[in-house]
Amino acid sequence: MAKGSREVVTRNDVAQYAGVSTAVVSYVVNDGPRAVSPRTRDRVLEAIRVLGYRPNAAARALKVGSTRTFGLVMPDGGNPLYAELAKAVEKEAATRGYVVLQTNTDSDPAVEKRKISDLLARQVDGLILATPTGEPGATELAELNDSGIPVVALNRPVRGTTSICPEYRAGARLGVEHLIGHGHERIGLVMGIERSAWSPERELGWRDALVAAGLPEGPIARAEFSRQGGYDAGRQLLTTTNPPMPVKQAKVAKLLKATERPTAIFVSSDLQAVGVLRALHEAGLDVPGEMAVVAFDGTAESEFSWPPLSVVRQPLEAVAQKAVSRLLDEVDEPVEAFTYPTELVLRASCGCN
């Protein structure tokens, strides 16, 4: 049995063994489209069992034109946010009998293009784009469009494609408002480095909250969406603004406010927040006592940081569900934008508990 493994059982063998035609085998395997008498069905089932028959998905795909497969393109599956997103997508797809091909681009547009092409060649039934780095180029987009397969963009708006996102702006506002509720009046921001043209929604949300409360803008630090990036941003926020400003600069009141060390920071991603926390610890600052922190994302990692992070949690499951159902539904209005509400998860880093 260990080496006699080469025997590939086809639907022909089954038909022969059961003494029926291949059509009948097909009918019982697929429960249709024609009815089969219980007795023959049992014979076929038995044959399948005995021979260990397993339908060849490639053949089926060729015939029916569907692979029951989705492609998922993301920058880095090692990043917890994408890992969790991917898992949610896989889970949702699995409930519909679909399977997902996950690929990483390492944020390289050339790689992204290649991988998308490959996925298309593999006849995926739908493509999920979760690569925030840049929009696909013109040719790439055209290629996608006339490939005829449904595409959704996750967590970023893409022109000409239906997109599914968390409510970035409202979510960020929620987080900042919570900080304001704790009495903070100088709230800094750690943002990613936006390369694409679309508006940095989380930044807008932060500003929304500040403006609504009549508060000045705290300092902003921009860095990579990574733990290291957050660390750098955290240090930047602390060191460059810590010493009292020279008199001549202090004249400009607004500027002064903007450069004084904040008492709270809103961080636009978990990963960065973890880095910020490290910078804060190294500086010997008490969190949340001397510096409160709220982050966006809410991956599992945020729950066990020290102190545990208060976060604005992304609706990953909702987004994944929508992505899959959208891909399946073959809706004809091609472009639409869906957003899902975030959830404020209060832990220790903001000052609660």
Partner DNA sequence: TTGAAAGCGATACCAT
Partner DNA sequence: ATGGTATCGCTTTCAA
In the complex, the residues that contact a copy of itself under the rule CB under 8 A are 1-2, 4-8, 52, 54-59, 61-62, 67, 69, 76-78, 80, 83-84, 86-87, 90-91, 94, 99-104, 115, 117-123, 142-143, 145-148, 227, 231, 274-275, 277-278, 281, 300-301, 303-308, 334
R_g (Cα) of the chain, nearest Å: 27
Identity of the residue, 39 or 248, whose beta carbon is nearer to DNA in the bound complex: 39
Q: How far apart are CA 218 and CA 32, in angstroms?
A: 65
Identity of the residue, 8 or 138, whose beta carbon is nearer to DNA in the bound complex: 8
Distances (CA, A) of 77 to 87, 107, 114, 228, 334: 10, 11, 17, 17, 28
Identity of the residue, 42 or 336, whose beta carbon is nearer to DNA in the bound complex: 42
Q: Rule CB under 7 A: which residues touch DNA?
A: 8, 10-12, 19-27, 29-30, 32-37, 39-41, 53-56, 59-60, 62-65
Q: How far is the CB of 213 from a copy of itself (least distance, A)?
A: 31
Give the strand pairing for 343-345 and 310-313.
antiparallel
Contacted entry of DNA, a copy of itself, none for residue 26, CB cut-off 5 to 8 Å set by kind: DNA
E strand or H helix at 267: strand 264-267
Contacted entry of DNA, a copy of itself, none for residue 254, CB cut-off 5 to 8 Å set by kind: none
Identity of the residue, 80 or 216, whose beta carbon is nearer to a copy of itself in the bound complex: 80
Contacted entry of a copy of itself, DNA, none for residue 178, CB cut-off 5 to 8 Å set by kind: none
Place of tokens 């089932």: 45
Identity of the residue, 40 or 133, whose beta carbon is nearer to DNA in the bound complex: 40
> Bridge-partner residues for 163, per DSSP?
153, 337
Q: How far apart are CA 12 and CA 21, in angstroms?
A: 8
- Kindly state the DSSP code that residue 126 receives in the 8-state scheme: E
Contacted entry of DNA, a copy of itself, none for residue 20, CB cut-off 5 to 8 Å set by kind: DNA
Contacted entry of a copy of itself, DNA, none for residue 281, CB cut-off 5 to 8 Å set by kind: a copy of itself
Q: How far is the CB of 97 from DNA (least distance, A)?
A: 12
**Structure tokens, 31:** 């429960």
Q: How far apart are CA 280 and CA 130, in angstroms?
A: 31
CA atoms within 13 A on the CB side of 299: 20
Contacted entry of a copy of itself, DNA, none for residue 23, CB cut-off 5 to 8 Å set by kind: DNA
Distances (CA, A) of 75 to 80, 83, 149, 156, 286: 12, 11, 21, 13, 34
